[in-house]
Amino acid sequence: MFAFLLSTLVRAADGSPVWDWSTPHRYRLTADELQTPAISVGVANNIMAQMSRYTVTLDVTCAQSNESAAGGGTTVACSVDDAAVTGFPTYESDRAQLDESMRQLESWLRGGTLDFVQRDDGVIKRVGEVKPGPAAAPTRWDRTEWLNDALKGCLESLSVAIAPDAAEWRTPMPAGRPMPGAPQIPMGSQMPSGSLKLHVTERTPQRLTFEGEHGEIASISVEFDRQSGAITQSHASYAMVGNTANYYWSREFTSELLDAPEVADDP
């Protein structure tokens, strides 16, 4: 028994990260969040607009950083190559000003940087604040608070436990949270949390595909390239337990590896 435990500890100590960030990876990441009731967001000239949905699309280039990760793992630095932000106003009269505000936030993002720390199994355990690009104009903190939250949401599409040799395992679900400034969660409702069971749907020498689902609360599907050590595409969605027509929250994330390697058909 002692020998078995010792060998297990040795394997854990010698384990290498399933991801390989030694060469840069380019990704297109998206986050789409819905929230009812709508929240008030600050737009130009200190005017507030009602918004119940937003989408963020980022093209990022990420690679391993020289910065050490406290507690283990890998620090990954990302630059924002391009950004698209769309807000969906509750009232049509707010559309022009909300659109202008979104264009300003896109300029704030382009050329910006952010970093994160990833555990050896692939789960992202910390995301830093976004540093705006060189062309960014000063903006109010409350206009960018939810934007930072959205960008961290984009990275959720890359934050999933990967077990290349297992048939089934579990991955943490992101701690659900409404947009900053949203109304208090009503009694009987609960944000998603805990873990989600994943199972392999295809395993070849080149790639691993797996998925998991928990009713209407959570679902995820991932394709992982075993040779380059990177997710090539993923899709995840999470919803609040107890969603109703009057109080609703959900988030959807996707990732696409833009420099995905060409893989020959498996024999």
In this structure, what token pair is assigned to residue 217?
Answer: 């609360």
| Residue 204 to residue 105: CA distance in whole angstroms | 42
| Distances, alpha carbon 169 to alpha carbons 165, 197, 198, 210, in Å | 10, 6, 5, 10
202 C-beta neighbours (distance < 10 Å), count: 10
Q: Which residues of 135-146 are buried (b: 16+ CB within 10 A; e: fewer)?
A: ebeebeeebbeb
For tokens 């290498």, the residue is 16
Domains of the chain: 17-257 (2.30.230)
Each residue's pLDDT tens digit in the chain (267 positions)? Answer: 323 333 333 333 345 789 999 999 999 999 998 888 877 776 666 677 888 888 999 999 999 998 887 778 999 999 999 999 998 988 898 888 888 888 888 888 899 898 999 999 999 988 888 888 887 777 766 666 767 777 788 898 999 999 999 999 999 987 656 555 555 555 445 556 689 999 999 999 999 999 999 988 899 999 999 999 999 999 999 887 777 777 788 889 999 999 865 554 444
Structure tokens at 34: 């819905």
Instruction: Give the three-state DSSP class for 66.
Output: coil
| Four-residue CA torsion sign, 20, 68, 127, 140 | negative
Q: Residue 53: which H helix or E strand, with range?
A: strand 48-64
pTM: 0.84
Which of 250, 54, 245, 253 minimizes the C-alpha distance to 143? 54
Alpha carbon 102 to its chain's center: 20
